[in-house]
């Protein structure tokens, strides 16, 4: 690691070339953004793996490196402890644990990575659920000497529940089992079976030594039997198209845009000219895509209209895909306000006051039947009552089985439960299985605004052992 301290002309030249290539890729819009999460316990070497990814992609700068080298020496270590790169808060440094999800950034010419680093141990569900909610890829770690353990099973269940499209198992500390192909194959097989049982879409296992750097960014010469990608190689080649782009169109309206004056701002020279009658709907495409001429349904009212403009201050677009913030104009004036959802005309979600779903309870304030909460869904906020708790997920399952639901009359911190909520007003909620955006919701404490739970509507994406008695999509309201 000493090499970063002395400027080396060849290395500098290479870095300049890389930097300018990255800049060009970014300016030309060739670089995409990939969100990933990592989960595992400190003992599995997760911090070291993340540190290694940052270090080997040149995302760590010398003063940071200096400070961790000093800290490592103080701890009596011979070399810089890469795990220290990811220690954020003083309480964590003092206690040698990580408390909360931390976000890290690294980039290559092709992709920029936003990494949600989820600590194990304390509040593992809360943290993993948070990190997995936005992740396109989740990297789980196991210690090659131990194989797939209880915590891996739990993390994998959460990944299945949150519908993370791609799951990678880093079989770490492979150096401590003499780079054994047999050990790796056994763990990889266990993992693949488990992933399939739980309903994970896509999984892959990679043998690594985070400490030595084998197969993290650089291919290991010590495991010639492994011909798959390194961890970074996997991240670089995995299909980066978000699930949301393939889903049908959903657009929660954030606000109605009525400037009520004509004119052009000096900073927006490329913007279309706007007259005083302009009326548009600002929002982010939650799923699918939208183009001029398409018919949409406005929910909850159910009225129909055609899109006549997909506007941005950079000029109009022909098509906007999931993730894009735009202003939509319709061909007629309708009663549309914040909280409404514009959807495709062919498969709009049903309105329901009876919201059935799976919730991950994120706070130590318990909930029971009769609890009053607020449901934040899309851009709307609705009062609700917990009508029924159908069961709590038992994640203490062994390798040959799957999680089960056990009955419970309350939900506490880190519980994953099936609930039925009665809403004060009907909402257009999609099944989470089909829509990660408009199928998700959070529960909020009515009194002080605290975030109580993460919710996924409809049948659970996680495969469980006992058939879920309420495994049906929420029923439409009859009016």
Partner 1 sequence: MTTTISTGAAPIPARALRPLSELQALESESIHIFREVAATFARPVMLFSGGKDSVVMLHLAAKAFWPAPVPFELLHVDTGHNFPEVLTYRDEASAFYGARLKVASVQDYIDDGRLRERPDGQRNPLQTVPLLDAITAGKHDAVFGGGRRDEERARAKERIFSLRDEFGQWDPRNQRPELWSLYNGRHLPGEHVRVFPLSNWTELDVWDYIEAEHIALPSIYYAHEREVTLRDGMWVAITPVTPVRGGEDVSVRSVRYRTVGDMSCTAAVLSTASTVADVITEVGLSSLTERGATRADDRLGEAAMEDRKREGYF
Restricting to residues 63-92, name those near partner 1 by CB under 8 A: 63-64, 67, 86-91
Give me the residue label for tokens 């650089």: 218
Site string for partner 1, 316-335 (x = CB under 8 A): --xx-x-xxx-x--------
- In three-state secondary structure terms, 328 is strand
Distance in Å, CB of 118 to partner 1, minimum: 11
**Of 345 and 477, which CB lies nearer to partner 1 in the complex structure?**
345
Q: Which of residues 397-436 bind partner 1 (CB under 8 A)?
A: 436
Q: How far apart are CA 234 and CA 236, in angstroms?
A: 5
Among 73, 103, 149, 469, binds partner 1 (CB under 8 A): 103
**Of 78 and 239, which CB lies nearer to partner 1 in the complex structure?**
239
Q: How far apart are CA 105 and CA 119, in angstroms?
A: 17
Q: Which of residues 22-61 bind partner 1 (CB under 8 A)?
A: 22-23, 26-27, 29-33, 61
**Of 194 and 421, which CB lies nearer to partner 1 in the complex structure?**
421
DSSP for 173-238?
-GGGGTT-HHHHHHHHHHHHHHHHHHT-S-EEEEE-BTTTTBTTTBPPTT-TT--S--HHHHHHHS
Q: How far apart are CA 216 and CA 209, in angstroms?
A: 7
Among 344, 352, 358, 414, binds partner 1 (CB under 8 A): 344
Site string for partner 1, 369-388 (x = CB under 8 A): -----x-xx-x---------
Among 177, 193, 257, 399, binds partner 1 (CB under 8 A): 257
**Of 184 and 281, which CB lies nearer to partner 1 in the complex structure?**
281
Could you tell me if 288 and 310 are in contact, meaning their C-beta atoms sit under 8 angstroms apart?
no
Q: Which of residues 159-188 bind partner 1 (CB under 8 A)?
A: none
Q: Which of 207, 184, 133, 189 is nearest to 440 (CA)?
A: 133
The total number of residues written for the chain in this structure: 479
Distance in Å, CB of 416 to partner 1, minimum: 14
Q: How far apart are CA 21 and CA 287, in angstroms?
A: 31
**Of 122 and 466, which CB lies nearer to partner 1 in the complex structure?**
122
Contact status: 195 vs partner 1 (CB under 8 A): no
Distance in Å, CB of 151 to partner 1, minimum: 19
Among 345, 350, 385, 477, binds partner 1 (CB under 8 A): 345
Site string for partner 1, 137-156 (x = CB under 8 A): --------------------
Extract the tokens encoding 57.
Answer: 């992609």
Q: Which of 384, 392, 387 is nearest to 418 (CA)?
A: 392
Contact status: 462 vs partner 1 (CB under 8 A): no
10 Å CB burial of residue 283 (0-12, 13-18, 19+) is buried
Distance in Å, CB of 92 to partner 1, minimum: 9
**Of 68 and 170, which CB lies nearer to partner 1 in the complex structure?**
68
Widest CA span in the chain: 74
Distance in Å, CB of 295 to partner 1, minimum: 7
- In three-state secondary structure terms, 367 is strand
Give me the residue label for tokens 């599995």: 44
Q: Which of residues 441-460 bind partner 1 (CB under 8 A)?
A: 441-442, 444-445, 448-451, 454
Among 201, 222, 304, 338, binds partner 1 (CB under 8 A): 338
Residue 68 phi/psi, 5-degree rounding, is -75, -25
Q: How far apart are CA 294 and CA 44, in angstroms?
A: 50
Could you tell me if 460 and 468 are in contact, meaning their C-beta atoms sit under 8 angstroms apart?
yes
**Of 234 and 278, which CB lies nearer to partner 1 in the complex structure?**
278
Q: Which of 429, 475, 477 is nearest to 455 (CA)?
A: 429
Extract the tokens encoding 267.
Answer: 């900073």
Contact status: 111 vs partner 1 (CB under 8 A): yes
Q: Which of residues 273-312 bind partner 1 (CB under 8 A)?
A: 274, 278, 282-284, 289, 291, 293-295, 312
Could you tell me if 227 and 184 are in contact, meaning their C-beta atoms sit under 8 angstroms apart?
no
Distance in Å, CB of 55 to partner 1, minimum: 14
Q: How far apart are CA 55 and CA 59, in angstroms?
A: 6
**Of 225 and 450, which CB lies nearer to partner 1 in the complex structure?**
450
Distance in Å, CB of 353 to partner 1, minimum: 20
Site string for partner 1, 112-131 (x = CB under 8 A): x-x-----------xx-xx-
Distance in Å, CB of 141 to partner 1, minimum: 19
Q: How far apart are CA 40 and CA 141, in angstroms?
A: 5
């Amino acid at each position: 690691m000493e090499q970063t301290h002395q400027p080396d002309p060849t290395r500098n030249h290479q870095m300049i070339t890389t930097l300018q290539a990255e800049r060009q890729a970014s300016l030309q819009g060739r670089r995409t953004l990939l969100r990933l999460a990592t989960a595992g316990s400190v003992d599995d070497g997760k911090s070291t793996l993340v540190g290694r990814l940052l270090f080997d992609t040149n995302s760590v700068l010398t003063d940071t490196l200096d400070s961790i080298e000093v800290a490592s020496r103080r701890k009596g270590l011979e070399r810089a402890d890469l795990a220290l790169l990811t220690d954020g808060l003083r309480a964590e440094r003092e206690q040698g644990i990580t408390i909360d999800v931390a976000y890290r950034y690294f980039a290559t010419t092709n992709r920029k990575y936003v990494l949600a680093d989820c600590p194990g141990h304390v509040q593992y569900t809360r943290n993993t659920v948070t990190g997995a909610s936005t992740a396109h890829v989740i990297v789980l770690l196991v210690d090659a000497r131990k194989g797939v353990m209880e915590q891996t099973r739990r993390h994998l269940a959460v990944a299945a529940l949150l519908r993370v499209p791609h799951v990678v198992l880093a079989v770490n500390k492979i150096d401590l089992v003499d780079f054994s192909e047999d050990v790796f194959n056994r763990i990889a097989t266990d993992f693949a079976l488990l992933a399939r049982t739980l309903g994970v879409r896509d999984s892959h296992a990679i043998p690594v030594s985070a400490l030595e750097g084998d197969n993290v960014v650089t291919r290991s010469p010590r495991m010639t039997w492994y011909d798959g990608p390194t961890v970074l190689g996997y991240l670089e080649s995995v299909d980066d198209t978000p699930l949301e782009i393939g889903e049908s169109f959903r657009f929660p309206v954030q606000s109605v845009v009525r400037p009520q004056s004509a004119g052009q701002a000096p900073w927006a020279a490329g913007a279309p000219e706007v007259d005083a009658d302009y009326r548009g709907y600002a929002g982010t495409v939650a799923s699918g895509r939208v183009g001029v001429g398409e018919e949409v349904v406005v929910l909850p009212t159910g009225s129909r209209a055609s899109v006549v403009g997909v506007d941005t201050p950079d000029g109009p677009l022909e098509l906007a895909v999931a993730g894009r913030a735009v202003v939509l104009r319709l061909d007629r004036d309708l009663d549309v306000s914040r909280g409404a959802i514009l959807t495709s005309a062919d498969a709009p979600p049903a309105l329901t006051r009876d919201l059935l779903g799976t919730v991950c309870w994120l706070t130590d304030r318990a909930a029971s039947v009769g609890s009053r909460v607020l449901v934040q869904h899309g851009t709307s906020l609705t009062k609700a009552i917990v009508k029924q708790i159908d069961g709590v997920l038992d994640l203490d399952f062994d390798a040959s089985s799957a999680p089960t639901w056990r009955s419970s009359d309350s939900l506490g911190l880190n519980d994953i439960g099936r609930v039925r909520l009665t809403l004060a007003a009907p909402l257009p909620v999609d099944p989470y299985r089909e829509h990660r955006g408009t199928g998700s919701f959070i529960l909020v404490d009515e009194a002080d605004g605290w975030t109580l739970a993460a919710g996924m509507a409809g049948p659970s994406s996680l495969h469980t052992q006992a058939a879920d008695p309420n495994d049906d999509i929420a029923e439409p309201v009859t009016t």
